[in-house]
Every structure is written in structure tokens, then in C-alpha cells.
């Protein structure tokens, strides 16, 4: 039995050895940095990089650095690895313009990618890990960092110093010991659509201003944001929304720019406070995902009154939203029970919403209770139609002057009229049901209707 156990162990050891060898990264050792010179040549010429015009493609894994001295080129890793010893720079892009770095793994450097006085540089589809700093950006502008995995770096995932107008989007920025993104004395940068999770600090903003930080997922960072002497913008207005915060404790029962209309819209009813100078006004209730396909929806139906006199009008506000990635032109119909009240045509660009105002003339409707709903007619190629219908708002059609809806015009209604006398919308004593005529003020006209219909049912 012992011999069998030892034999099994030896076989397993041999198997693991073969497996380890099979998956060990083969590295081409560079005697020094590899240069892509200003004239386009590769130095040394034996480096595992294939040149085709202004496109440079790695043909093997490289143990060492790359220094780029030429503008307007593409360096494609083709899935290969650039690995350092922890003390040098992986790819040096100092003073470069219009260079693209893509599709490689860069790890174990001091700076994995270094930009200084660099402009219109693009870094995409690249894994950047296990360095001191993942991407360092100083005195640089108009660069794009998107679609990368920036993880497990010792200090910062991305460090931005004295830089403007850079875009950081669609990245997975996770498990960096200190900061996911560090902004220092920088302004007008856009940080959007990133997963920023399990870092020491998700974002640090130090003496910075007017950076636009929205549609990110801040998940389980030791501290989601640290801001010192900075004022930044933490949402993209309504209904586009702000960021998802895993520690947000608010609820979603309201909608609209002021979050004061019935109906959830995927945005928290209260803001997420970072500090006294920085607030996400529209925190997202669920992790942000990019809009896709065609998707229009109705998120709220709000009547101006809960009781309306038969023959008089009631205003209805419907919020429509375009949750898809394309601009859409579509129709919205509002109903009382199953009877159509009116339709309107709406045009919305991706991520936008609008308030659609309808007027319900109750002249042809019998007295009784009506449930209001709205329907956004599906657009071409729309597959998710569950959110095209929204039902809310119970309105009673009754005899004109019956303000409290008890089915008779009497002293109870007169008392409500008196309490709202001369009020207008936004007045402390405003009662929309007391504005029987719908002219925006509770006055003698409404009193006259009560008098004419006194004790009617």
C-alpha cells in the first residue's frame, strides 16, 4: 500500500512538473531597453518585434523595457508579456503623441507605463499588474486609457499629476494597495464606466477640480473616495445618473430631477455625500452597465389631482426614458383604466429622459375610480419590453365640487376650499383637488362651482 502511495505521488509530481513547464512564460531576455527609434527602426534589430509600416507587433514575451521615441505608431502586444524586475519602466512614452499601446501584459516594473508631456496616447486591452505604479501620467493631456485590467499594483493603479482632459473609461481597476486612481493638481479629466473595487482608496482627489467622475462602480474599497481641497463633479445629471456605491444605504421610491415624483428610476432618492464640497446627486441603485441595443421605457405616471370633477381636466405627467445605446423616436400613450386618453411622439438620445405632459378631459368618462398607466410603444429591434408599461396613480372622477371624493358636495369640501384659499402651486397650503377649474389658483371660480353643485352627488 505504501509503495502504491509513493508511486502515485511520483506520478503526480511528474505531472505537475510537466504542467508547470508547459505553462511557464518563455521570456526573451533583453540586454537593455528595446528602442523604437524616431526613424522607425528597432534597436536592437534582433528584438522580438515585427514592424509593418507604423504598426509594431510583439512576436514573443520580453524580459525588459520598451522605450518609444517615434510618434503616430501602434504597438500591439498580440497577447505577449512584457516583464520587469520591479525597478525600471515598462513602456516609456515620454514626449510622445498619437501612440497606441494595446493587447499585452505588463508587469513587475516601477512604472508599468509612463507618460510625461504625452498627448493623444491610447492604452487599451492591456493587463497591467504587480508594479509599483500601473500607469503614471504627468503634465499630459487628451490621452485615453480604456478597456484595461489594472490590478494588484503596490501603490496606485493610475496616477494623474498636473494633467487635463484625459479619459479613463471601461477599465477594471482592482486590488491596488493604495489608490485605484489618484488625481493630483489635475482638472477636467473624465473617469467613467470603470469598476473600481477592493483598492485602498477607490479615487483620491488632491488639490484637483472639475474632474467628471460618473458611471463607475465603487465596490468595497477600504475608503471609496478621499478628497482634499478638491471640488469635482460626481454625476452626469438626471437621468444619466452618478456612480454605484456599494455602501450607499438609500432607497429608490421616487423619480425625476428632484426625486420627488412617485416611481423608482434606478437612482437613489437621496444623494451620496463624499464631503461638504463633493456629492453624487444621483447615486445608482445597481452596478452600472453600458447601455446596449434598443430600449425605451416609462418610469413614472403622475396625475396632478387625485379627485377631479366630471367635465373638468386633470394634468398627467409621464416620464419617458431611453435606456438603450441609440437615439430613438417613439410614441407614448396614457390610459385611464383601459381607455386611451392621448398619445404623444417623443425623441430621446441615449441615456436621456423627458417629462411628457398630457391633459385628461374627463367629459366623456363616467364617474368612478380610474387607474392611470402609460405605455411606450416598442421601437424597432427592442427585445426588453418589460419596462415599457408603467401603472400608477388612482384618480376619482366625481361631481364637480366634491373635493374630498366622498361622493357629495357639502361642508367638508367647503372647509378644504377655505384651507387652500388663494393658494397656487408650491404654496404651503396648496391643494390641487381644490383647484376645481384647473386654472392654477384656488379662488372665487372654484367657490362658485361648489355653490352651484351644493349637496349634489
Domain boundaries, the chain: 26-233, 291-398, 399-457
Kindly report the backbone phi and psi dihedral angles of residue 10, in degrees, each rounded to the nearest multiple of 5, phi listed first.
-65, -40
Residue 307: all three cell numbers together = 379627485
Confidence of residue 239 (pLDDT cuts 50, 70, 90): confident
For residues 322 and 356, is the Cβ–Cβ distance under 8 A? no
Residue 71: all three cell numbers together = 510618434
CATH architecture of the domain formed by 291-398: Sandwich (2.60)
98 Cβ contact list (under 8 Å, min separation 6): 71, 72, 119, 120, 121
Residue 283: the pLDDT is 98
Q: Is 43 exposed, middle or buried (0-12, 13-18, 19+ CB in 10 A)?
A: middle
Neighbours of 46 (CB within 10 A): 11
Structural element, H or E, at residue 182: strand 179-184
Does residue 3 sit in helix, strand or coil?
helix
Residue whose entry in the numeric block shows the C-alpha cell 483620491: 204
Distance CA 76, CA 53 (A): 13
**CATH no. of 399-457:** 1.10.1330.10
Please enumerate, as own/partner, the contacts of 186-194 that have beta carbons within 8 Å and a separation of 24 or more. Answer: 186/160, 186/161, 186/162, 186/211, 187/211, 188/164, 188/212, 189/160, 189/163, 189/164, 189/165, 190/166, 191/216, 192/167, 192/168, 192/216, 192/236, 193/169, 193/288, 193/290, 194/168, 194/169, 194/170
Residue 264: the pLDDT is 84
**Averaged pLDDT score across all residues of the chain:** 92
* Percent of the chain clearing pLDDT 70 (strictly above): 94
Mean pLDDT of 75-79: 97
For residues 138 and 163, is the Cβ–Cβ distance under 8 A? yes
Distance CA 137, CA 103 (A): 20
CATH architecture of the domain formed by 26-233: 3 Solenoid (2.160)
- pLDDT tens by residue, 142-165: 999 999 999 999 999 999 999 999
Residue 227 above 90 pLDDT?
yes
Q: Is the bond preceding 239 in cis, omega lying within 30 degrees of 0?
A: yes
Confidence of residue 25 (pLDDT cuts 50, 70, 90): low
Residue whose entry in the numeric block shows the C-alpha cell 408603467: 390
Neighbours of 101 (CB within 10 A): 28
Confidence of residue 13 (pLDDT cuts 50, 70, 90): very low
**Strand ordering across the sheet containing 313-322:** 296-303, 313-322, 353-361
Confidence of residue 31 (pLDDT cuts 50, 70, 90): low
Q: Is 229 exposed, middle or buried (0-12, 13-18, 19+ CB in 10 A)?
A: exposed
Beta strand 27-29 pairing with 61-63: parallel
- pLDDT tens by residue, 355-400: 899 999 999 999 999 999 999 999 999 998 999 999 987 999 999 9
Amino acid at each position: 500500500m505504501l509503495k502504491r502511495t509513493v508511486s502515485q505521488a511520483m506520478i503526480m509530481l511528474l505531472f505537475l512538473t510537466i504542467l508547470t513547464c508547459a505553462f511557464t512564460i518563455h521570456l526573451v531576455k533583453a540586454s537593455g531597453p528595446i528602442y523604437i527609434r524616431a526613424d522607425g527602426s528597432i534597436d536592437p534589430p534582433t528584438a522580438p518585434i515585427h514592424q509593418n509600416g507604423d504598426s509594431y507587433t510583439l512576436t514573443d514575451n520580453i524580459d525588459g523595457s520598451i522605450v518609444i521615441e517615434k510618434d503616430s505608431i501602434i504597438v500591439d502586444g498580440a497577447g505577449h508579456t512584457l516583464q520587469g524586475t520591479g525597478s525600471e519602466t515598462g513602456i516609456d512614452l515620454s514626449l510622445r503623441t498619437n501612440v497606441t499601446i494595446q493587447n499585452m501584459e505588463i508587469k513587475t516594473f516601477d512604472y508599468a507605463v509612463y507618460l510625461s508631456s504625452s498627448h493623444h496616447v491610447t492604452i487599451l486591452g492591456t493587463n497591467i499588474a504587480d508594479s509599483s505604479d500601473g500607469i503614471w501620467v504627468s503634465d499630459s493631456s487628451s490621452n485615453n486609457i480604456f478597456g484595461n485590467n489594472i490590478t494588484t499594483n503596490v501603490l496606485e493603479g493610475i496616477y494623474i499629476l498636473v494633467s487635463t482632459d484625459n479619459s479613463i473609461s471601461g477599465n477594471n481597476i482592482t486590488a491596488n494597495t493604495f489608490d485605484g486612481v489618484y488625481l493630483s493638481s489635475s482638472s477636467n479629466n473624465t473617469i467613467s464606466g470603470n469598476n473600481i473595487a477592493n483598492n485602498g482608496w477607490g479615487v483620491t482627489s488632491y488639490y484637483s477640480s472639475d474632474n467628471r467622475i460618473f458611471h463607475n462602480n465603487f465596490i468595497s474599497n477600504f475608503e471609496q473616495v478621499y478628497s482634499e481641497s478638491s471640488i469635482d463633479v460626481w454625476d452626469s445629471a438626471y437621468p444619466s445618473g452618478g456612480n454605484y456605491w456599494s455602501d450607499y444605504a438609500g432607497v429608490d421610491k421616487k423619480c425625476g430631477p428632484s426625486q420627488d415624483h412617485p416611481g423608482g428610476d434606478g437612482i437613489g432618492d437621496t444623494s451620496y455625500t463624499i464631503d461638504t464640497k463633493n456629492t453624487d446627486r444621483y447615486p445608482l441603485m445597481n452596478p452600472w452597465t453600458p447601455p446596449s441595443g434598443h430600449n425605451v421605457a416609462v418610469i413614472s405616471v403622475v396625475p396632478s389631482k387625485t379627485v377631479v370633477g366630471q367635465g373638468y381636466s386633470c394634468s398627467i405627467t409621464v416620464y419617458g426614458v431611453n435606456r438603450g445605446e441609440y437615439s430613438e423616436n417613439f410614441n407614448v400613450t396614457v390610459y385611464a383604466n383601459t381607455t386611451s386618453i392621448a398619445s404623444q411622439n417623443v425623441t430621446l438620445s441615449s441615456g436621456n429622459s423627458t417629462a411628457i405632459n398630457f391633459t385628461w378631459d374627463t367629459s366623456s368618462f363616467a364617474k368612478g375610480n380610474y387607474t392611470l398607466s402609460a405605455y411606450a410603444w416598442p421601437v424597432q429591434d427592442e427585445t426588453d419590453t418589460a419596462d415599457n408599461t408603467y401603472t400608477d396613480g388612482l384618480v376619482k372622477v366625481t361631481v364637480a365640487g366634491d373635493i374630498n371624493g366622498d361622493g357629495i358636495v357639502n361642508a367638508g369640501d367647503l372647509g378644504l376650499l377655505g384651507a387652500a384659499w388663494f393658494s397656487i402651486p408650491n404654496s404651503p397650503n396648496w391643494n390641487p383637488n381644490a383647484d376645481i377649474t384647473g386654472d392654477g389658483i384656488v379662488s372665487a371660480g372654484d367657490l362658485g362651482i361648489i355653490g352651484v353643485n351644493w349637496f349634489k352627488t
